Amino acid sequence: MPTWDANLYLKFSDERARPCADLIARIALENPTHIVDLGCGPGNSTEQLHQRWPRAEVLGLDSSAEMLCEARKNHPDWKWEQADLAAWKPARTYDLIFSNATLHWVKDHARILPQLFAHVAPGGALAVQMPQHNTSPAHRAMVDVSREPEWAPALDQARQTITIENAGFYYDVLSPLASRLDLWETTYHPEMENAEAVLTWMRGSGMRPYLEAFSAEQQKRFQQACLERFHDLFPARANGKILLPYPRIFLIAYR
């Protein structure tokens, strides 16, 4: 997992909140008692869970001390825990295990998803949303830049940081375990001021492991190379703004 800058991540908090809200709205659970928010970050997704189920006991879990510091600052009375999601083995089951834009940072989805589903209580659900980086134009452009001779040797590990599969893969993994599986994809198109805003968006999420491989000067040059691609990739619309295609994959597995 990369290190995180909560302030940078929150620059597009409204845009990042939309897929989370759409996932929560589609979860067919009336009154879950115990909920865990895996990869809660600065607590935005946890806030939405509290709003939907105000009587539930919600635990926010994240591996980033920086993100949890922000979460505790905003909600000191809520439950927060620092833990490695890949090794997380709770002592109890949960009515809802929820993960918004987190599991793509964890490898071996064929193992981790059944492992998480095993901790879902009878009648409960595992609900997951992840960025579909395999079809994201901005992410693919960044990966293309990273394969150029100047950057390729230093970024081999960064290119392997994110794990995302197609819908059929997740169906095959979870359908034998779930009583019902809801699986879909959505592409959002948030409005951005310019290509520089796309770079800021990427710097707050998918670009972080790439930048961490470099010195400050190398980071500047790599970002400039990506920015040039973004200028070509995202032309201005009639009003001068640009649209950023933002594909996501969603799944809800019910026990």
pLDDT digit string, tens, across residues 30-53? 999 999 999 999 999 999 999 999
DSSP 89: -
Sheet holding 34-38, edge to edge: 79-82, 57-62, 34-38, 94-100, 120-131, 246-254, 180-188
Q: Tens digit of pLDDT for each residue in 206-229?
A: 888 888 888 889 999 999 999 999
Could you tell me if 67 and 13 are in contact, meaning their C-beta atoms sit under 8 angstroms apart?
no
Residue 76 DSSP code: T
pTM of the model: 0.89
- Element holding 137 (H helix, E strand): helix 137-146
Q: What pLDDT score was predicted for residue 213? A: 87
Q: Would you say 248 and 129 are in contact if contact means Cβ atoms under 8 Å apart?
A: yes
Going through the chain in order, the beta strands assigned E by DSSP cover: 34-38, 57-62, 79-82, 94-100, 120-131, 180-188, 191-192, 242-243, 246-254
Q: Looking at residue 225, what is its pLDDT?
A: 95
Domains and CATH numbers, the chain: 6-254 (3.40.50.150)
Q: pLDDT tens across 102-149, in order?
A: 999 999 999 999 999 999 999 999 999 999 988 999 999 999 999 999
> In the chain, what are the helix, strand and coil shares in percent, each to the nearest 5?
45, 20, 35
Residue 63 scores a pLDDT above 50: yes
